[in-house]
């Protein structure tokens, strides 16, 4: 679905609202909006404190957590266990694509082979990184999205998956690319 169309439908259905007491609610959950620079700063501080590898794992786990928490909410709200998995997948991506990270597109998917490839042509974090630090970096930066994809496809395929960001704009690639395979 078109991003704007999806967002409008959500607004109409009251799924996103700002309350009188200063809360923003998305699907019944409090949400807080952070500028991309703040997210980037969090990554920078974490990397300084615990090193790049551990920081990556923490951010990855955060992405996993968000998806798990969302699934719990949708289970209560929409009884999604009874719905078609492809419909749920579209719904999850429709939501992800209005959160400001960029536009994620599933380029390849096989439920049979339990494999998926996702690309994001305009990931916000690398764009912000390149402007802020004025240099590329060796390590891909979209660990949060990677964690989110990892849990999404674990849920879709009902099997542990190995997720990897194989291309990242922050490393000089033209777009970000994420590979999801099951662990053999």
Q: In this complex, which beta carbon is closest to Zn ion, that of residue 161 or of residue 168?
A: 168
Handedness of CA 85, 88, 92, 98 (dihedral sign): positive
Q: How far is the CB of 123 from Zn ion (least distance, A)?
A: 5
Neighbours of 122 (CB within 10 A): 13
Q: In this complex, which beta carbon is closest to Zn ion, that of residue 129 or of residue 157?
A: 129
For residue 176, state whether it binds Zn ion (rule: CB under 5 A). yes
Q: How far is the CB of 146 from Zn ion (least distance, A)?
A: 9
Angstrom distances, CA of residue 56 to CA of 1, 32, 68, 78, 139: 31, 22, 18, 32, 9
> Residue 162 and residue 180: Cα distance in Å, rounded?
6
Residue from 43, 70, 116, 168 touching Zn ion (CB under 5 A): that is: 168
How many residues of this chain interact with Zn ion, rule: CB under 5 A?
5
Give residues 52-71 in contact with Zn ion (rule: CB under 5 A): none
Q: Per CB under 5 A, which region of 12-20, 52-60, 90-98, 173-181 contacts Zn ion?
A: 173-181
Binding mask 139-158 for Zn ion (x = CB under 5 A): -x-x----------------
Please spell the DSSP secondary structure of 9-49, one letter per residue: HHHHTTSEEE-TTS-EEETTEEE----HHHHHHHHHHHHHH
> Residue 3 and residue 6: Cα distance in Å, rounded?
5
Q: What residue ranges bind Zn ion (CB under 5 A)?
A: 123, 140, 142, 168, 176
């Amino acid at each position: 679905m078109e991003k704007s169309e999806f967002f409008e439908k959500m607004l109409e259905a009251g799924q996103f609202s700002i309350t009188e007491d200063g809360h923003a609610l998305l699907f019944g959950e409090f949400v807080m909006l952070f500028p991309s620079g703040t997210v980037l700063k969090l990554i920078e501080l974490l990397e300084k404190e615990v090193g790049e590898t551990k920081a990556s794992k923490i951010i990855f786990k955060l992405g996993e957590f968000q998806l798990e928490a969302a699934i719990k909410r949708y289970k209560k709200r929409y009884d999604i266990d009874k719905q078609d998995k492809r419909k749920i997948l579209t719904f999850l991506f429709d939501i992800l694509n209005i959160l400001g990270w960029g536009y994620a597109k599933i380029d390849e998917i096989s439920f049979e082979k339990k494999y998926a490839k996702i690309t994001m042509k305009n990931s916000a974090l690398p764009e912000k990184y390149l402007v802020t630090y004025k240099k590329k970096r060796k390590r891909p930066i979209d660990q949060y999205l990677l964690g989110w994809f990892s849990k999404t496809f674990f849920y879709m395929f009902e099997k542990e998956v190995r997720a990897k960001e194989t291309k990242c704009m922050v490393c000089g690639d033209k777009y970000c690319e994420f590979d999801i395979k099951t662990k053999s």
